[in-house]
């Protein structure tokens, strides 16, 4: 087990494998990256993950962009799945390409999946219920458990669909994650127009819940509601940052200590390409962990 200088345990590695995407969701934070550049190879991702596992990383989350755009995505997952110490591999996807790839992802070693699903009844963007439902079905058939539906709640867009999404998640056997919009330097107007705080929703869920759990990750609340499970993700709160357990790797191979900052990255992939020693690689990772600090205090 390794901790940062604020006493936060670090056991999750969040790897962005591409900044390319087949959608253009206005709320997307692109994992804090800007622009599309060269990406890491599967072998480089494996080397970084293996080094992180040696310092205590146990779980890996694959993100993007849209990870399924990469034709070598199953190779990436297969390489990670054989690393000693890695106990869990999950992925966040928009779901539009999952139907035909779920079985191969499972065979490669993927265990869990998060699917972007912002509205059950209509499309707020290009995603539609007709695309997402088959994705959920395919994930279940492949044995990808747990399945989570990520709903970024937006005022005047999908905030009225929350109850319908709860019912959809209940019927599909998926966990619904209600996510507050993150403000970035590039989305200020969109944030001002569509930010929807979830505190009142939390109070309502708490009043109806059969059981409430608090996860160690971000201090998230998890509500059990007559067969449905709803989790609240509020990245704008102090307790979210105070309980962050994640180290990030950008798609172009940099250690990113915080989603919200771009001024403290450490280039790790260049060292790998220059054949640095294992102890130097280990030192870079520890330095990246040392640079972590809560963004919201």
The structure tokens listed for 153 are 């709640």
The domain tally of the chain equals 1
pLDDT digits (tens, 9 = 90+) for 209-243: 999 999 988 989 999 999 999 999 999 999 999 99
| Distance from C-alpha of 249 to C-alpha of 266, rounded to nearest angstrom | 9
Instruction: Taking residues 74-95, report their average pLDDT.
Output: 98
Q: What tens digit of pLDDT does each residue of 100-140 get? A: 999 999 999 999 999 998 765 545 444 556 778 899 999 99
**Confidence band of 157 (pLDDT split at 50, 70, 90):** confident
In a domain, 5, yes or no: no
Q: Give dist(CA 157, CA 191) in Å, integer.
A: 12
Domain residues for the domain of 198 are 12-290
**How many C-beta neighbours within 10 Å does residue 238 have?**
13
For the segment 21-47, the average pLDDT, to the nearest whole number, is 90
For residue 164, name the pLDDT band (cuts at 50, 70, 90).
Answer: confident
Q: Is residue 91 part of a domain?
A: yes
Contact by Cβ (8 Å): 45, 254: no
Cross-strand bridge partners of residue 229:
224
3-state secondary structure of 231: strand
Q: Where residue 285 falls among pLDDT bands split at 50, 70, 90?
A: very high
Position 250 in a domain: yes
**Would residue 157 count as lying in a domain?**
yes
pLDDT over 90, % of the chain: 81
The stretch 164-175 carries a mean pLDDT of 92
Is 24 part of a structural domain of the chain? yes
How far, rounded to the nearest angstrom, does the alpha carbon of residue 198 sit from its chain's CA centroid? 19
Residue 39 lies in a domain: yes
User: Which pLDDT tens digit goes with each residue over 177-203?
Assistant: 999 999 988 899 999 999 999 999 999
* CATH number of the structural domain spanning residue 125: 3.20.20.70
Q: Which residues contact 126 (CB under 8 A, 6 or more apart)?
A: 23, 24
Per-residue pLDDT for 144 more than 80? yes
Q: How far apart, in Å, do the first and last CA atoms of the chain sit?
A: 24
Note whether residue 255 is domain-resident: yes
Residue 120 has a pLDDT of: 54
Considering the domain boundaries, does residue 143 fall inside one?
yes
């Amino acid at each position: 087990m390794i901790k940062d200088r604020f006493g936060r345990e670090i056991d999750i590695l969040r790897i962005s494998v591409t900044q390319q995407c087949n959608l253009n969701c206005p709320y997307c934070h692109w994992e804090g990256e800007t622009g599309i550049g060269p990406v890491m190879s599967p072998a480089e991702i494996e080397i970084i993950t293996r080094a992180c596992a040696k310092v205590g990383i146990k779980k890996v989350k694959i993100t993007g962009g849209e990870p399924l755009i990469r034709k070598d995505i199953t190779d990436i997952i297969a390489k990670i799945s054989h690393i000693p110490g890695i106990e869990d591999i999950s992925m966040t996807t928009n779901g539009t390409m999952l139907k035909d790839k779920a079985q191969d992802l499972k065979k490669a070693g993927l265990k869990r999946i998060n699917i972007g699903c912002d509205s059950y009844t209509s499309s707020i963007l290009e995603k539609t219920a007709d695309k997402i439902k088959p994705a959920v079905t395919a994930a279940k058939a492949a044995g990808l458990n747990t399945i989570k539906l990520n709903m970024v709640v937006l005022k005047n867009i999908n905030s009225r669909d929350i109850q319908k999404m709860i019912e959809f998640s209940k019927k599909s056997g998926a966990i619904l994650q209600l996510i507050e919009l993150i403000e970035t330097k590039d989305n200020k107007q969109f944030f001002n127009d569509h930010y929807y705080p979830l505190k009142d929703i939390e109070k309502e869920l708490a009043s109806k819940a059969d059981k409430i759990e608090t996860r160690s990750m971000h201090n998230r609340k998890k509500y059990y509601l007559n067969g449905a499970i709803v989790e609240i993700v509020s990245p704008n709160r102090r307790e979210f940052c105070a309980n962050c357990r994640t180290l990030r790797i950008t798609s172009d191979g940099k250690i990113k200590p915080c989603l919200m900052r771009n001024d403290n990255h450490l280039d790790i992939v260049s060292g790998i390409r220059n054949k640095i020693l294992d102890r130097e690689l280990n030192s870079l990772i520890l330095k990246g962990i040392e640079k972590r600090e809560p963004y919201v205090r």
